[in-house]
Amino acid sequence: MPEVLLDQIIAGTLFQWLLVFVRIGVAFINLPSIGEFFVPTQVRLALALIISAITVPVVADVLPSQPDNVPALALLILSEALYGAFLGNFARLLMSALEVAGMVIAMQSALGNASIFNPALSAQSSLPGALLGWMGLMMIFVTNLHHMLILSVVESYAVFRPGSAPPWGDFAEFVTLLVASGFRVGVQMAAPFIAVGLMVNLAMGLIARLAPQIQVFFVFMSLQVAVGLFLLSLTLGSMVLFWLRYFEGTVVQMLRPV
C-alpha cells in the first residue's frame, strides 16, 4: 500500500512538472533575450527546467489532475504549448516597434537597400533596424527587464489556468492592439527623420526644377546619408529610452492583477 501511494505521488509530481515545463519551455523559445539564436540551446533548456521545478509548488493549486486517457492529455499539453507560444510572441511583438523605426529611418537616410541580420526579429533587416534591435536586447538585459519577462510567464497561471480553453477572441484582439501600438511607437521614434527627410526631399525637388542639368540624385545621395547618420547620432539614445518605456509599460500591464 505505501508503495502504491508513493508511485501515485511521484507520477502526479512528474505530471505537474511536465505540464509547467511545456508552457515555460515554449515561452522561452520565443521570448526576446532568452530565446535568441545566440543563447545556446542547452542554456535555454536548463533555465526552463530549473524555473519549471521552482514554479510547480507555487502553481500546484491551479494545476488540473492527470487525465485518464491519452487524447485528454494531448489536448491539455497542446493548450499549454499555445499559452506558452502566446506569451513568448507577445514579448516578441513589442520588438517590432524597433523594426518599424529602423525601416523608416533607412528610407529617409537612403539606406533602404542595405540589410543585415536583426536579432529583434531573427531575420534580415535594415541597418538602422538591426542597430536598434541589438540596442533593444542590450537594454533589456541591462535594465533586468528579462526578469519581468520570466515573471510574466510564471504569473500567467493566474490568468490562463491550465485545462481551460484558450480565449481565441481575446488573443486576436490583444495581438491586433500590440501590432497597432508597435507601428505607432515605431513611427513616433522615427518622427525626426520623417520631418528632416521631407525637407531634404523638398529641397532636392526644388533644385531639380530650378537647375535640371544638375544630377540631384547623384549629388545629394551622400548628403542624405550624412544627414541621416548625424541625426541618428543625436536621437539614438532618446529613441531607445522611449521604446524602453513602452516595453516596460506593456509588460507591467500584463503583470497587473485582474
Q: What is the pLDDT of residues 11-60, one digit of tens each?
A: 557 788 888 888 888 888 888 777 677 777 788 888 888 888 888 888 88
Q: How many domains does the chain have?
A: 1
Domain holding 113, by residue range, is 2-255
Q: What is the pLDDT of residues 164-220, one digit of tens each?
A: 778 888 888 888 888 899 899 999 999 888 888 888 778 777 777 777 777 766 677
Question: How confident is the model at residue 242, as a pLDDT?
Answer: 92
Question: Percentage of residues in the chain with pLDDT exceeding 70?
Answer: 86
Q: Structure pTM?
A: 0.79
> What average pLDDT score do residues 246-256 get?
80
Question: How confident is the model at residue 4, as a pLDDT?
Answer: 44
Question: How confident is the model at residue 256, as a pLDDT?
Answer: 64
Question: How confident is the model at residue 3, as a pLDDT?
Answer: 46
**CA separation for the pair 162, 20 (Å, rounded):** 9
Grid cell of 126 as nine digits: 535594415
**CA separation for the pair 77, 89 (Å, rounded):** 18
Residue 257 has pLDDT above 80, yes or no: no
Question: Percentage of residues in the chain with pLDDT exceeding 90?
Answer: 4
**Which one is predicted more confidently, 205 or 74?**
74
